[in-house]
A and B are shown apart, each in its own frame.
Chain A
């Protein structure tokens, strides 16, 4: 069976499975739409949280970033897992004890203020929409490849499917579907990783294979080999640090506290049966996440090695050491169709030279070989995971499986986020503020309409993304980190934090981060409107826009603290509320609607 038919078959079968589950577990009441019911076991909840959490950024984009950034990409690995420690230790059990549906409800009540709730809704919507943009780019890449269409068409197809899928489900449908999606995506990620690790090192476990020696009998460690291969072509060594230490620390911190401040993840912990379950649920989620995250470095490093070997087939600089363009493999041709891979024969020798022409020393050497610049003019990092099994010549069913896994990852996260946005609009804004006695039917309608609106905005921006999927997602985390996390944490750990302090803090955090991002990425991400080029020389103290969330969060804490010192302390009953959520005793069931 050819690859295309196989892909349609596998993707089609998994979709039928998800939609089947969504119909079987269809939400009929608003309560079911928002929460999956308190009967979800911590392990099941952990698995669903993992699927919810691991998005196109984790599945499609992250290993690609690792492949090209090497060691520096560690910030994504540590940042997106370390946040769960913060979540389990600082937020989840207390929010569960509080026992409401949404993050903004907590903020509204804790800071006894509708305005605070409104600001929280704003922060949440901005962060969530930015996040969905990243997903849309990922979906576009996946569909673009397997339908063999350009990125734009891929995004449009993805929008339609996400719409049908998310609007039908609600939390109840989504939870069970997400468990199925987790199984599909983790299988799809680890199977090719195991194949490739076996090929290269003879070890079947990617986490160990990455630290093993090559199976070619040379006795050289795989990572050392990779360092040699890339530095021979003028690139920086894979295991070397390229970014400044300050930027790495802040980006990691930004991703960690962003994880702990993301509404669609926190929402999951509102609904576990007990406070103790909220603590362990985060642990289970992290186990399921770590299976993928510890495999990713192996996938990234080995994809890079295979890519270099495919193009640089012989000695660097020898006449026949480079791949002949006319003999390029099928995967190369297919990715050229999507526009995400581009070749230009600069020296007209009919062979492909892929090297770092920005490295002056090496460029001079390359000129002596008759090379006239890097001919792989575009290698979109987001294609690496999907192309990886093809580059390694794995069987067709494995390649089809990876496409299905990537789509599962993107869809499960997009659905969870859209639900969080819909909940914010219909539950917090419309029911909570504008018309409290809205009928259930109308509330459901409002939430579905807001999902549709969010998909349109995200789809448009997904076609003109401000970065690679993982980088766009990193921006979303910066926004959540700078606005929501500090307000939640102070709400629990500082009894004297008052309404004005919290609001001032949230607004400072959100807008300082948002403006810093727009400054370098363009206002509302519209291309050409950036105030300064997005380069390290222009950045404030060398801090990239992705990493600024940590600074925004510090500003948030600082402003909130200072303002709370000069404004009246919170009333007695709020202080009691805080004392009460600090102890597990007396936690009821998750609040009814």
Chain B
């Protein structure tokens, strides 16, 4: 595989991973926290209503996990396509 096509394949793999992470990002904040908040609020998590919990707690925990998940996976993809730093 030429260097050029290898890099293109790497970029594609990266975009796929980014799209996956951003869809989770969208679901936990915009969908669960705002758009579906009334529906989720009928479920309770201790003293929290679930939609409220996503908006003021849960989305933030998931954001943190997402960043480290991305960093970890893209690090492996870097190595797989041999484009990692020395």
Binding site for B on A (CB under 8 A): 66, 71, 74, 77-78, 81-82, 84-85, 88-90, 207-208, 210-213, 221-224, 239, 241, 245, 248-249, 252-253, 274-276, 279-280, 282-283, 286-287, 290, 293-294, 297, 579, 582-587
- Verify B29–A213 contact, CB threshold 8 A: no
- Known A74-B56, A77-B55, A293-B60; contact A210-B48, beta-carbon cutoff 8 A: yes
- Known A74-B33, A78-B29, A280-B71; contact A585-B47, beta-carbon cutoff 8 A: no
In the complex the two chains form, what is the Cα distance from A579 to B5 in whole Å?
A: 12
Binding site for A on B (CB under 8 A): 7, 10-11, 14, 18, 21-22, 25, 29-30, 33-35, 37-38, 41, 45-49, 52-53, 55-57, 59-61, 63-64, 66-68, 70-71, 74-75, 78, 82-85
- Verify B63–A212 contact, CB threshold 8 A: no
Find the A residue at minimum CB distance from B49. Answer: A239
Chain A residue numbers with a CB within 8 Å of B85 are 274-276, 584-587
How many A-B pairs have beta carbons closer than 8 Å: the answer is 135
Given A74-B56, A85-B67, A280-B67: 15 more A-B contacts, CB < 8 Å: A77-B60, A89-B18, A89-B22, A89-B67, A210-B47, A210-B57, A211-B47, A239-B41, A241-B38, A283-B68, A287-B64, A294-B60, A582-B10, A582-B11, A585-B82
Find the B residue at minimum CB distance from A286. Answer: B64
A-side binding surface: helix, strand, loop or mixed?
A: helix
- Known A85-B66, A221-B47; contact A583-B57, beta-carbon cutoff 8 A: no
- Verify A585–B63 contact, CB threshold 8 A: no
In the complex the two chains form, what is the Cα distance from A552 to B35 in whole Å?
A: 22
- Verify B37–A241 contact, CB threshold 8 A: yes
Chain B residue numbers with a CB within 8 Å of A282 are 67
| Interchain residue pairs with CB less than 8 A apart (12) | A77-B55, A85-B63, A211-B46, A253-B30, A276-B75, A283-B67, A293-B60, A297-B57, A583-B10, A583-B11, A584-B83, A587-B85
Chain B residue numbers with a CB within 8 Å of A248 are 34
The minimal Cβ–Cβ distance linking A265 to chain B, given in whole angstroms, is 14
- Verify B25–A245 contact, CB threshold 8 A: no
In the complex the two chains form, what is the Cα distance from A71 to B63 in whole Å?
A: 19
In the complex the two chains form, what is the Cα distance from A275 to B71 in whole Å?
A: 10
Find the A residue at minimum CB distance from B57. Answer: A294
Chain B residue numbers with a CB within 8 Å of A81 are 59-60, 63
- Known A85-B21, A252-B29; contact A213-B47, beta-carbon cutoff 8 A: yes
